[in-house]
Amino acid sequence: MSQSVRKGRREKTERKRMKKIEEEPKGKKKTTKKTDEKEKMKEEKEAAMKNEALDFYRQLGEHDFKTFEGASIDFHRKREPVVFIPGENPVITAVKKEALLKFLMANNVHRVLIDALFPSRVPLLQSLLEQGIEVYVLRRPSALAGFKTMLLRRYDIQIPRKNDVIDAVAQAFTWPKFHRRLDWRFLGCWRAMNKWRRSCRLYYKVQQMLSEDKDESPVVTLHEDRLIEKAREFVDAVEMHYPKLRQVFEEVEIPDDDVIAQALCCEIVLEIRHIEKVSDVLRKAGIGIQSVPKKKVRKKKEEVEKTEDKQTENKPKKKTFQYDGKLLFAANQLAIKLFHLNPKKEPEKVMLKTKKLLEDIWRCSRRYIRATERAAEWGKPWGCPAPLDKRGFAFFETRHRAGAPAEAGNFRL
């Protein structure tokens, strides 16, 4: 290769390099313009969504709907959480998870309502509870959708297109009966319960599939030892936060060596400990709420065809009661284990024993678990109130009745 050819190639490479150097700032300017346009479009879109959400908030305020006394937070897996604080000057903004606590403290927020529980949110919620902020969660995810359908059906309020901002505003107006208060004990046990539930459901599903498929060489093998390890971890986590748990096991007569039964009992205790009535516990599990089917009346073929045509035209949707299937599954499995029942041959007996078991566990949890929580909260601002003399009412004296209740006279302080 001659020297002239090499020299020509070098000159070409130098020219290309100089062109690249000259074109680089122009390319950067083009990219910055594109990014600026994208940012402007994003800001305009967010501003339009906020204005739409504020109009929706004012529309609900005209119908005298009561709002949640605190901040409503709509979390998302990939995006930043949206915080809505109702009031005369409502605040709607997206806050980073790391700066959420500082933002709530700066806005003097003492109560928070979230849409659902996820394992990744537990450390953040625990930090809020440590700072004295009360945390509430929707009892079921369908509560928000049910509230929106009620607005459209009863008040003819057109709901805007679904997004995080609209969900945060609508969540603040949901009924208080769908709000469940969380504490640090429950959050400490919930992550272990979530792991236990996942492994337990998989184990029982595979066990049922293997029992139906009678094959000598199954593809999947079950390891009960691993399930027992998960159950022991869950029981230890619950016992660490609730020391009187063993007394519940003794009252229900659960053996000490049956760790799986203890884990099922712990799952039931965590789900029903906050409920005030036994009837609400059974209703939550879906026991005793199914309506009795009506007797079928024989009709002629012509009448049946006419009624079918009319029903297909205007057939209202049947309302299905939404119960806690996980609670019912845990109670059924615990009843089968303790009373040695066969669910296929005696399903009615399984339901009767499940009902009795839920009632017994509820009474024990109220006696031991709930009592310890109230004792720990005594004297705190969110717990039981202090005596009258410590609250500045020392001038009150005891009232004495004279005679029978019907003949009692006027009382004087």
Mean pLDDT of 253-267: 95
CA dist 353 and 334 (Å) reads 10
- Give, in order, the Cα–Cα distances in Å from 375 to each of 42, 146, 369: 51, 37, 10
List, for residues 279-294, the tens digit of each pLDDT value: 999 999 999 765 333 4
Domain coordinates in residue numbering, the chain: 61-182, 185-212+220-287+324-376
Measured in degrees and rounded to the nearest 5, phi and psi for residue 377 equal -90, 0
For 355-372, what is the mean pLDDT?
89
Q: Which CATH class is domain 61-182?
A: alpha beta
Is pLDDT of 410 > 60? no
Lowest-confidence region among 11-15, 194-198, 255-259: 11-15
Residue 233 pLDDT greater than 70, yes or no: yes
Gap between the Cα atoms of 82 and 79, Å rounded:
9
pLDDT digits (tens, 9 = 90+) for 27-38: 444 456 667 788
Q: What is the pLDDT of residue 217?
A: 65
- Residue 24 pLDDT exceeds 50: yes
What is the reported pLDDT for 358? 96
pLDDT tens profile 37-78: 888 888 888 889 999 999 999 999 888 899 999 999 999 888
296 φ/ψ angles, rounded to the nearest 5 degrees:
-80, 135
b/e per residue 88-109 (b: at least 16 CB within 10 A): eebebbbbeeeebbebbeeeeb
How many CA atoms lie within 13 Å of 343's alpha carbon, on the beta-carbon side? 12
DSSP class of residue 319 equals: P
Phi, psi of 398 (to 5 degrees): -70, 145
Round to whole Å and give the CA distance between 341 and 335: 8
Residue 319: the pLDDT is: 63
